[in-house]
Chain A
């Protein structure tokens, strides 16, 4: 059995590398946040106060992103291998054992990746800390602490999240009759299961509680601490309701461009719709990245506008680059790695599809164009969702502050969306180019 697990990990290395990269990134970001908390706890006083307020925001942003990213990537990892798991059943592995082995694989890769990420953070943490807190006199020359206990805690949290994310798919892999999986190796449709419904309701409750508790008469610094959480929570709600929301948004806006415009658009649109009904992983990370960035900048700009109305000056709400890096650096890194990894992981599954389209008369150029369209569709859908979360969050803050409208930071949102698009294009085009090098008969050969 160990031999089977090991050989499967090697044979499907492309898929496992994707989740491995995501867990390394999560381990790295988690270790940095843990290091801030541990260092604050060690020194106490002003250092602890400064670091705990920073690290709690970092942790919240990171946790929301990590939950979305790890959950969807873990789910995708298993969904892409249903055919292999069907073959396991055919050679006599019991269904319950299939689920167990799948989870064991996921746990091993998750734990090793998370631990590797923590180890990568050790040499980087001091220089990152020195740069981010260079203007804070209390932080100068203090000793930094990132112990083995914190790293193990981060590793355990990531491993558990990965396992929970893959649990449903692992059970599905064990329950699916092998002949069904071999006949239709496509991942199953994702649904709004009870876990997602409960999660969505909990986030809605938290969101309502937060919005109703915002006090427009409170000091700006007190208000900013709560207001900054609004958009991330809206993004979390969107992600939880992803199986309903994402396909609906994609379907709505892509319907505006007629299918007859070109065959490449037609193929890309249908493929994106189909894939999004199987996994949210292509859109979720980018949507979160856009919403977090847009939310941070829009909240800052809206609070600055309110401050200007009250005092005639908007001083104190300019976001310093180091503040943005510490707050958003981790989540953006996670989202970027996950978005690229997702497309990379799915690339092999597309090889046969591309081969078939070539066989029926498509040119290689048309296939590349189809891949480009698909990346654009994902990026625009993520942009629409991210900007919606940003605007809704901004409107709530503006309403509390009696401003006519929020100051939405379109440039920040646009920048992240453009960066995401470039990343998606790179992650799409490389596997597409590789797929085009495979001869059609080889790609379509019966496995």
Chain B
């Protein structure tokens, strides 16, 4: 069996209490999971269940309190900020719900940015191919302000495709989009999860979640259930159960 790209063990994370002397609020309580190459994993659950925090802890954007995350063969705990940045640059791509693009750069420049940061020669053909893959070849010279929300999201996916990372983290990638545009974005993400590349996606959209190979249902910072290739109805039922027992 192939080595997992992400291997998390007994992950704990708390946020400080809101008031003075308030106890910390636990957000993740002992989560363990593996994500294997070529796999698409969706994380669903009620609001406040810790979905986004888990995604950010797995990707090294958020420090965790205890436990372990091994990402692309490197244990994240103890890595300095520079080393984390380097790890993200080489192995990870991100698609956020909004603000995915630098406003001062064109679509083409945004796509090529990670390569620039890694001091790699930017191959115009890679950028062109990525733009073509998301159907936005004619928007290469447009700035984010001149693109619709869906187009911005597709450019963010093009950035991921051009970078060819091993793992793509997507946080509510369709949260700001209409149904049709959201479906386009999801199919692009689904298609990008192949061969050596994995996708981990947090979503409220149950249809979107059902596109994944595995769906993890979170409740109160712990994995409440796991579904393999579920239907949207099965995801709905699992989330409803998590909500009622929360």
Chain A residues near B (Cβ < 8 Å): 183-184, 186, 263, 266-267, 270-271, 273-275, 352-353, 356-366, 439-441, 444, 446
Contacts and interface: CB of A to CB of B under 8 A. Distances in A.
B64 interface: no
Contact of B145 (A184, A267, A360): A184
Nearest to B85: A363
Interface string B73-114: 000000001100110111010101111111111000100011
B61 A357 contact: no
B117 A366 contact: yes
Contact of B144 (A184, A275, A359): A184
A326 to B, nearest CB: 41
Contacts of B159: 360
Nearest to B52: A441
B120 to A, nearest CB: 10
B117 A439 contact: no
25 contacts: A183-B149, A184-B145, A263-B113, A263-B119, A271-B102, A273-B104, A274-B143, A356-B99, A356-B100, A359-B94, A360-B88, A360-B159, A361-B117, A362-B85, A362-B117, A363-B85, A363-B86, A364-B85, A439-B62, A440-B56, A441-B62, A446-B97, A446-B98, A446-B172, A446-B175
Given A275-B104, A446-B175, A361 B109 contact: no
Residue with the greatest number of chain A CB neighbours at <10 A, chosen from B100, B102, B109, B144: B102
A353 B98 CA distance: 12
B89 A356 contact: no
Contacts, number: 87
Interface string B47-85: 000001100100001100000000000000000011001
Given A274-B104, A446-B175, A441 B109 contact: no
Residue with the greatest number of chain A CB neighbours at <10 A, chosen from B52, B103, B149: B103
A364 B85 CA distance: 9
Nearest to B93: A360
Contact of A444 (B88, B96, B116): B96
Contact of B61 (A263, A266, A274, A440): A440
Contacts of A270: 102, 104-105, 109
A183 B177 CA distance: 11
Q: Which 6 pairs from chain A and chain B are nearest by CB? A: A361-B89, A274-B104, A184-B145, A263-B116, A441-B56, A363-B85
Contacts of B97: 446
Contacts of B114: 360-361
Nearest to A269: B104
A352 B99 contact: yes
Contacts of B149: 183
